Amino acid sequence: MRSMTSVPELRLLGVTLLLALVAGCGPTKVKVEGSFPEPLMEPVPLTMGVWYPEEFANHEFFDEAKSRSESGWVVNTGDAQVAMWDQLLDGMFYKLVHMKGKPAPKQMNQVVNAVLIPHVDELQYAIPQHTNVKVYEIWMRYRFELVTSGGKPIAEWTMPAYGKTPTAFLRSDEAAVNLAAVMALRDAGANFATSFTRVPAVVEWLNGRKPGNIPDVAQEMPATVGTDSDTLAVPVMENTDPDADEADAEGGEIE
């Protein structure tokens, strides 16, 4: 006897298949992972504190779209950012201390010379012009605050970083995006290590002068990404709260 399937059952089956298809068409997610070399330099004789704001530690970017869930890419750099800066700062300074809380007048923190607070203020991203060439570009503009453990400003400046997939023959686009991000982070580390002691307000502070007006030492972003024959610039958004779209859908210093 041939089994019969009713019209309602066919409709239900069709809806189930459609939902499964839609669920499988979400954005491509990349969690950036890589290795970061220790700086080859004589450590600066300072006990440096570091405070990673939540938006920095959870940093991610995605294609500019109606929402994060509709983006073609979601790239999370937060853990890699923290790993790279921990490695760099631990080698750059005599001692690195992770602050218990955000530097502020009434915040009881460890005793340090100063506290570094990094931010990612801007990001540009470019995808391959041709599907068979897996080359991506990433530019980032960092902003750094150097403050006392009580939150008093010492210096503030910006710094660019750039990364490009060094080979077009990786097996996957995810690997190419990951490598471009790792290259950008390594570039950031190298730039910071060579420029920190040349920032005017930092020099003034290191010379023992009383911190005064913070000079403008911002660096312009280099040429816009996607200007060569390999890549095409893509508008991006930065989301520091991975749960935001889901919710929408449903103490002392050393002198």
Q: Residue 16 falls within a domain, yes or no?
A: no
Q: Residue 167 falls within a domain, yes or no?
A: yes
Tell me: pLDDT of 215 over 60: no
Q: Residue 204 falls within a domain, yes or no?
A: yes
Q: Residue 10 falls within a domain, yes or no?
A: no
Tell me: pLDDT of 221 over 60: no
Q: Distance between CA 23 and CA 201 in Å, rounded? A: 51
Is 103 within 8 Å of 148 (Cβ atoms)? Answer: yes
pLDDT for res 192: 97
**What confidence category does residue 48 fall into, taking pLDDT thresholds of 50, 70 and 90?**
very high
Q: What is the pLDDT of residues 22-35, one digit of tens each?
A: 445 567 889 999 99
Q: Is the pTM of this model over 0.75?
A: no
Q: Determine the structural domain holding residue 244 and report its residue range.
A: 27-249
Question: Per the structure block, which two tokens stand in for 116?
Answer: 């570094």
Q: Residue 242 falls within a domain, yes or no?
A: yes
pLDDT for res 68: 57
Q: Residue 72 falls within a domain, yes or no?
A: yes
Q: Residue 71 falls within a domain, yes or no?
A: yes
Q: Distance between CA 85 and CA 80 in Å, rounded? A: 9
Position 142, amino acid: Y
Q: Residue 15 falls within a domain, yes or no?
A: no
Q: What is the pLDDT of residues 79-134, one digit of tens each?
A: 999 999 999 999 999 999 999 999 988 888 888 999 999 999 998 888 776 656 78
Q: How many domains does the chain have?
A: 1
Q: What is the pLDDT of residues 136-192, one digit of tens each?
A: 899 999 999 999 989 999 999 999 999 998 876 777 888 888 999 999 999 999 999
